[in-house]
Amino acid sequence: MRCKSIHASPLAPYPSHPYASHHPARLLQAGPRPFTRLAIYASLSLALLVVDLRWHILQPVREVVSAALYPLQWLATAPVSLGHRIGDFVETQTALQQENRRLQDERLLANARLLRYEALEQENAQLRALLITREQHHGRGNLTEVLYNDRDPYTAKLVVDRGETAGVKPGQVVIDPLGVVGQVTRVQPFTAEVTLVLHKNQPVPVQVVRNGLRTVVYGSGPKSPLEVRWMPLNADIRNDDMLVTSGIDGTYPSGLPVAKVSRVDRNAGSAFAQVSAEPAADVDKHRFLLILDERLEMPKRPDEPPPAQRKKKKEAD
């Protein structure tokens, strides 16, 4: 029987050593320690940085890497960029809407101011014309403002802001810069009622400027032309003839424009000509009017003879 050797191989580890390994190849595979690796890599990086800073040898590499990584960078930043764009769009739209609303409000305010200025300009022009008209009548008259129209739509009346306290009396003539508007028919302490020439059956004694023909103009209601009644067929009156106050009634001063003839219809089947006229004044447009304080002194009527003389005159006739 062959005996085994009691001497172990010199390459075999001592069996009783606690740190002995059963795999000797692992000792050959063990590398530098981590700190050593860190020092090596740091030195290499520093060397590359210095070399690249001096000779720019890594520039092509950076360009290739940058081009290769650009899609990934775009995908990574796309959600953030999209969010920023959406936020900017919403903010811009909100700012534009607010600016548009502000500009619209400013435009409306500017239009309102412009209309107010135009109205004031027209009122100033009318007031200047009324002042000139009052000077033409020796400065006698009251400037008045129209408060409102009469409640009855079938009447042509309005109420003004001058009354007894301002010296207004019934029968006074109301005019505008163009002609006769109406006549004061009722007076209150602080207001007065004016009956317009358009009022139905409102009479105004007039005469034709062209030939002096005297007649009477009557109103026929709101929004209707004036009428010249009981005019003979052969009367010398034509279209576009100007009618002014004759002054024979003692109420209307003479020479005030009243109307302009618009139509003359001579029908053989009627005893009188049908004559229509348009008011010379802007009866239903102006806000300010002039109440004339001008009365004509009419001569007194002759005294009636005693009854005995009237009886003798009748017997003589």
Beta strands in 136-198 (DSSP E): 141-149, 157-160, 173-176, 179-187, 192-196
Domains assigned to the chain: 141-292 (2.40.10.340)
Q: What tokens does 164 get?
A: 């007894």
Q: Is the Cβ–Cβ distance between 280 and 259 less than 8 Å?
A: yes
Query: DSSP 3-state assignment of 62?
Result: helix
The residues, ordered by sequence, that sit 6+ positions from 75 with a Cβ below 8 Å of its Cβ are: none
Q: Is the Cβ–Cβ distance between 187 and 168 less than 8 Å?
A: yes
Using a 10 angstrom Cβ sphere, with 0-12 exposed, 13-18 middle and 19 or more buried, the burial of residue 151 is exposed
Q: Is the Cβ–Cβ distance between 158 and 146 less than 8 Å?
A: yes
Q: Is the Cβ–Cβ distance between 200 and 219 less than 8 Å?
A: yes
| Distance of alpha carbon 127 from alpha carbon 123, whole angstroms | 6
Residue pLDDT tens, the chain, 317 long: 444 444 444 444 444 444 444 455 554 455 678 888 888 888 888 888 888 777 777 788 878 888 888 888 888 888 888 888 888 888 888 888 999 998 888 888 888 888 777 777 877 777 787 777 777 766 678 889 999 988 887 889 999 999 999 999 998 999 988 899 999 999 999 999 999 999 998 999 999 999 999 999 999 988 889 999 999 988 999 999 999 999 887 788 888 999 999 999 988 788 899 999 999 998 888 788 999 886 656 556 666 666 666 666 666 66
Cα radius of gyration rounded to whole Å, the chain: 56
Q: How many CA atoms, within 13 angstroms, populate the side-chain half-sphere of residue 126?
A: 21
Instruction: Give the closest residue to 192 by CA, choosing from 157, 159, 155.
Output: 159
Instruction: Give the closest residue to 260 by CA, choosing from 245, 275, 242, 273.
Output: 242
Residue 36 phi, psi (nearest 5): -65, -45
Q: What is the pTM of this model?
A: 0.60
